[in-house]
Amino acid sequence: MAKRFFIKTFGCQMNVNDSEKMAGLLRDMGYEKAQTPEEADIVIVNTCSVRAKPDNKAYSFIGNLKRLKKRRPDLVVAVAGCVPQKEKEQILRFPHVDLVFGTFNFVKLPQLLERVKREGRVVEILNRKIPEEEKLPLVDSYLENPFIAYVTVQRGCNRFCTYCIVPFTRGRERSVAPHLVVEEVKRLAERGVKEVHLLGQNVDFYGYQGTDLADLLYMVSEVEGVERVRFTTSHPAGFSERIARAIRDIPKVCPYVHLPPQSGSNRVLERMNRGYTREEYIEKVQMLREFVPNVALSGDFIVGFPGETEEDFEQTLSLVEECVFDQAFVFEYSPRPFTKAATFKDDVPKEVKNRRLQTLQELVKKQALERNLERVGKVEEVLIEGFSPKGSELYGRTADNKPVAVEGSEELIGKTVEVEITQASPFFLKGKPVTTGVRSKR
Ligand code: SAH
Ligand code: SF4
Ligand code: F3S
């Protein structure tokens, strides 16, 4: 029987893509995917340390594998990703962990597993990019969804926001050569992928020998078979008119931008070292809406950053009022090791953080509902991804990234369907197909 792997992934899309690559490497070695850790010969925990919550969850997941390892000593337990990258000592305290590696060398998984077989426990944490990283675009990702794929185009971050651990766990910014991105997208399209998400920690700063993100969007959109191109995460200091024009001018590029403001208070933005003011953020959004009036906007926010007053928070609310969001990911500030803000006094009480989080979420919920209600009765193109979790309806997304439950049957999966929107809630639409026609373009 073939050996089996199980990968548990915490964190962002970048981590999800790293896991898909590791799964691809294991598949190429003859492994199959297991449904549970119990059925697996190797369990990899791909960790995230961006906030206290995913960090704690990763530790408890690792802790829970102890019993399994006791029962099955031949099981290989591996810990990867952002947590061991900076805190390998903490991971090494778990005696049942056989392999520890980081964000720079996961491409070497096959060699590392060989070493575990020979040597027992293996720990390899590297601190900078290795040449093998350039082979990653050549590894076929293991796709969870056969129609939608992530493609990492830029790794690392040079910006050092004072709250953020990412520059420490992912290293300096580096971009993937455009011909390698296009080659990967072509192979994905040949495998039936319809939608690609170009990923970068700050994807707007993508740059490779004169090729910028706008150029890359043109290049990727030329790949036959690809119907939709998305990109994330944007940074307000990097998001340019060239990118806004590319969204407007390239039919395949989706009118959706994730542009995290973090805060609407200049005082807080400055202390976060974000590199822009609230006025500049608002201007960027205005510029974007001038080029792409129907664009959907989402963002990340941190509430309760050290020293954030009620007045600062009011400024965030007023920025949200002014910009209008379709979705917001709101996080309570938590101090992270190695960051500058960890030296600031974490002085906003937990209850206040929580209240601010609720207030901000309520405001965005109201805005999102208003925007979604306007769509009832309209016809939208929806790429059907599969069945909804309940299984009774189909599930897909509009070009601007709204999830839609669609009436219909299996043969629509993987197709772009015209859907009449019949119902709206803040973050979800419902609809029924107008025709079952297949569209190749938006
Ligand atoms: N530019 C990156 C940001 C990664 S972190 C990207 O999106 O690829 C994702 C989000 O986590 C950030 O936008 C921020 O809102 C939040 N975050 C980061 N560090 C945090 C901290 N110490 N406390 C609370 N939230 C944090
Ligand atoms: Fe973190 Fe800031 Fe870099 Fe984003 S831009 S990864 S929030 S340091
Ligand atoms: Fe988490 Fe690392 Fe991504 S800390 S958010 S997995 S870059």
Q: What is the CB neighbour count within 10 angstroms for residue 418?
A: 16
Is residue 154 within 8 Å of residue 166, measured between CB atoms? no
Distance linking the first and last C-alpha atoms of the chain: 45
**This prediction's pTM:** 0.95
* Ligand 1 midpoint to CA 407 (Å): 36
- Write out the chain's pLDDT in tens, 442 residues: 899 999 999 999 999 999 999 999 999 999 999 999 999 999 999 999 999 988 999 999 999 999 999 999 999 999 999 999 999 999 999 999 999 999 999 999 999 999 999 999 999 999 999 999 999 999 999 999 999 999 999 999 999 999 999 999 999 999 999 999 999 999 999 999 999 999 999 999 999 999 999 999 999 999 999 999 999 999 999 999 999 999 999 999 999 999 999 999 999 999 999 999 999 999 999 999 999 999 999 999 999 999 999 999 999 999 999 999 999 999 999 999 999 999 999 999 999 999 999 999 999 999 999 999 999 999 999 999 999 887 789 999 999 999 999 999 999 999 999 999 999 999 999 999 996 545 544 4
Nearest CA among 335, 426, 323 for reference residue 374? 426
Pocket test for ligand 3, best of 21, 59, 82, 168 (most atoms within 8 A of CB): 82
| Residue 164 assigned as binding residue | yes
* Separation CA 225–CA 350 (nearest Å): 49
* Ligand 3 midpoint to CA 364 (Å): 25
Pocket test for ligand 3, best of 17, 20, 50 (most atoms within 8 A of CB): 50
C-alpha dihedral, 146 to 148 to 154 to 157, nearest 10°: -110
Count Cβ neighbours within 10 Å for each residue of 25-53 and write b for 16 or more, e otherwise: bbbeeebeebeebeebbbbbbbbbbbbee
Q: What is the CB neighbour count within 10 angstroms for residue 346?
A: 16
Q: What structural domains does the chain harbor?
A: 4-124 (3.40.50.12160), 379-433 (2.40.50.140)
* Ligand 1 midpoint to CA 50 (Å): 6
Amino acid at 36: T
- Alpha-carbon torsion (321, 322, 323, 324), positive or negative: positive
* Ligand 2 midpoint to CA 201 (Å): 7
